[in-house]
Structure 1
Amino acid sequence: MFKKDLLYKLGIAVYLIVWYVGSFWMMAALQSGLFGHLFGVDWSVVHEYAYYALAGGIGGTLYALRLFHEYYDQLSERWLFWYLLRPIKCAGAAVMTIILFQSGILLLQTGDSVLAKIGIAFLVGFGYGKVMDKLKSLAETLFNGKSGGSSDTKGPQAPGKTVWDEDETPK
């Protein structure tokens, strides 16, 4: 029948395409008021944040589709969860980044335009890795009192705890 790796590749391709097309469809459905009150949520209140999440998901999915195409022959089971989690992580990061901009913690002058924020959310999803590097640097500056991206800024460590390096793998 099918080889195992071919099934993984097919599954990833279908999953990413459903996320990509589905996110555009969800934006249109939210704009049309299709959902109203669903799952106990008044979507008219949070529709802007749903747009940001969907735009971040679109950006992350587009990036994942590009990498899927570029590295199709090198795809292994090891990358399965990266592809599965990418749109979800990008959607969450997009919403939180917009909230950080709105709160004034991160400074970027976009005005109050929803379209500008949707554009930023897309870029956050597309450039997720770089955004996470910047947020990590910001968190280290805010909470350790030190600036810079060096790995010495980890702060005190409790006895018996593992120190994690930059890519979050155990040392």
Structure 2
Amino acid sequence: MNPLHKFGKQAIFSYLVIWFVGSLWMMAVLGSGSYQQKVMGVDFALYHEYASFGFAGALGGALYGLRMFHEHYQELTTQWIYWYLMRPVLCFGSAIITIILFESGIMLLQVADSMSARISIAFLTGYGYGKFMEKLRDLTTTFFNGKNTNGTNGNGGGGSGGDTPK
């Protein structure tokens, strides 16, 4: 029996709604500054901004997941369960990394240096996770396989890419 027939679709929907509402709630809690405890050794007073970016990314990922769930409800098969379960989690992490890449100057974007601008970027990273991964792939290709001035490929050798064994 297909696990999606009985309660699978309701479970996926509930999971995404919990991530969506939970992310909004956690962003409000972190934004209020009322949560000043350590969780698993992490001091939230130091990292509450990054946690807010992560939850903004998870919010975007959950919203996109809910949209896809709605659009493809009839075609939903078990092969997509992993995609729906991992989407908010992956978007949480990628949103934080996006903000770090922008703050470091590796990725350039002309936006105001405000909390709301960074949360917006984090949300868009979560919502457009697939496009973000394409850009990240392009960035790593440029950094690690790009050509330099002496005609080599930048990895110390003259011919093969950095990911191929010799």
Q: Deviations over 1:75-102 (max 9, x none)?
A: 0111001000000101111100110000
Find the aligned partners of 2:88 and 2:48 in 1 and give their Cα distance: 19
**Is 1:63–2:70 an aligned residue pair?**
no
- Normalising by the residue count of structure 2, what TM-score does the alignment of the two structures yield? 0.85
Give the superposition deviation at 1:41: 2.2
1:139 is aligned to: 140
Give the superposition deviation at 1:33: 3.2
Find the aligned partners of 2:83 and 2:124 in 1 and give their Cα distance: 19
Describe the shift of the 1:107–1:74 C-alpha distance in structure 2 as closer, same or farther (beyond 3 A).
Answer: same
1:144 alignment partner AA:
N
Q: Deviations over 1:30-69 (max 9, x none)?
A: 1233431132322121111011000000101100100000
Find the aligned partners of 1:99 and 1:76 in 2 and give their Cα distance: 36
2:165 is aligned to: 158
Aligned to 2:74, the other structure's residue is in SS state helix
Find the aligned partners of 2:16 and 2:89 in 1 and give their Cα distance: 11
Give the alignment of 1:82-101 within 5 angstroms. 82-101=83-102
CA RMSD of aligned residues (A): 1.8
Give the alignment of 1:26-105 within 5 angstroms. 26-39=26-39, 40-105=41-106
Give the superposition deviation at 1:112: 1.7
**Residues 3 and 78 of structure 2 are in contact (CA less than 8 Å); yes or no, is this contact kept in structure 1?**
no
Give the superposition deviation at 1:156: 5.3
Find the aligned partners of 1:29 and 1:3 in 2 and give their Cα distance: 39
**Is 1:118–2:125 an aligned residue pair?**
no
Give 5+ residue unaligned stretches, structure 1. 147-152, 160-171
Give 5+ residue unaligned stretches, structure 2. 148-159
2:152 is aligned to: none
1:163 is aligned to: none
Find the aligned partners of 1:59 and 1:18 in 2 and give their Cα distance: 13
Describe the shift of the 1:42–1:65 C-alpha distance in structure 2 as closer, same or farther (beyond 3 A).
Answer: same
Aligned to 1:109, the other structure's residue is in SS state coil
Aligned residues: 152
